[in-house]
Amino acid sequence: MDSALSKSLENFKRRAIATPTVETKKRETADSSKDAKKPKLSQSSSSSSAPKLDGNNLSSMSGTSQYNFGILAKIVKYMRQRHQRGETHSLTLEDILDETQQLTVRPKVKQWLATEALINNPKIEVVQEGIENKFLFKAPYKLKDKKTLLRLLKQQDLKGLGGVLLDDVQESLPNCEKALKSLQNEIIYITRPIDKKKVLFFNDRTANFNVDEEFQKQWRAVAVESMDDAKIEEYLEKQGIRSMQDHGIKKPVMPIKRKKANKRKNTKPRDNDHLADVLESYDDDK
């Protein structure tokens, strides 16, 4: 071996032996301490970093009930809107999905809509045409125009059934606002105090009459808010006024006719007069 090479090898070994190994350990401990100081990601933070669901990937939830009922709600809303526009012809399920832009619905969901959801929905009416089922919006009342609405209000008034909710009329009658505007003199609007909903009544002008103003003042001056019928009747009796008990016409009470018991005729002869010549006495003579 060359003397220069052997000399450089010895110098390298001498430097390697002289090099302390503590510094490398300190570096490793320092690196490990730095790693320990780094904050660890918790499970919640990792889950929060996951992509959130939005409307674009809603189609991935097609198997869930939330997605199915979302499709059903959209169909019912569309059927109501087209009925209010005056479109009262029935539609097939394919036509409904086409007009609501839901052609990407899976066959399983279509089967559920056709055989269960639309048939059992109270707002949908099924019209069977041959083998195929078609669907219509089922309104609370069958109203075509303002004449049918006025006829309904008259029947409600004559039968004492009260008024009709404005919401039901708006849902049933196509072009409702136009019809209500033309019938504004024939209808009375009353706001229900419970839920502030408007109720429609027929304006019967034959029931209108004028009341004397003096009588109106006396009527309004009497406070009866805290009195029931029994207290009012007691007050009237103290004032010498007899209250009405029955308002209707009394029917005469018919006496109950009792059936007479049928008496059986005694067909047995009382005396044997027709056998007077034949009778003989068998008494022993004593």
> Using one digit for the tens of pLDDT, what is the confidence trace for 118-143?
999 999 999 888 788 899 999 899 88
Q: Kindly report, residue by residue over 213-261, the tens digit of the pLDDT.
A: 888 888 888 777 777 878 888 888 888 887 655 544 555 556 666 666 6
pLDDT at 6: 73
At residue 232, the pLDDT reads: 81
The mean pLDDT value for 34-43 works out to 49
pLDDT at 78 over 90: yes
Are 141 and 155 in contact, with CB atoms under 8 Å apart?
no
Q: Tens digit of pLDDT for each residue in 170-200?
A: 999 988 888 899 898 899 999 988 888 999 9
Give CA–CA dist 150/179, Å, rounded: 10
pLDDT over 70, % of the chain: 66
Map tokens 């070994």 to a residue. 13
Predicted TM-score of the model (pTM): 0.50
> Considering the chain, what is the average pLDDT of its residues?
76
Phi, psi of 101 (to 5 degrees): 60, 50
Sort 141 into a burial class: Cβ within 10 Å, 0-12 / 13-18 / 19+. Answer: middle
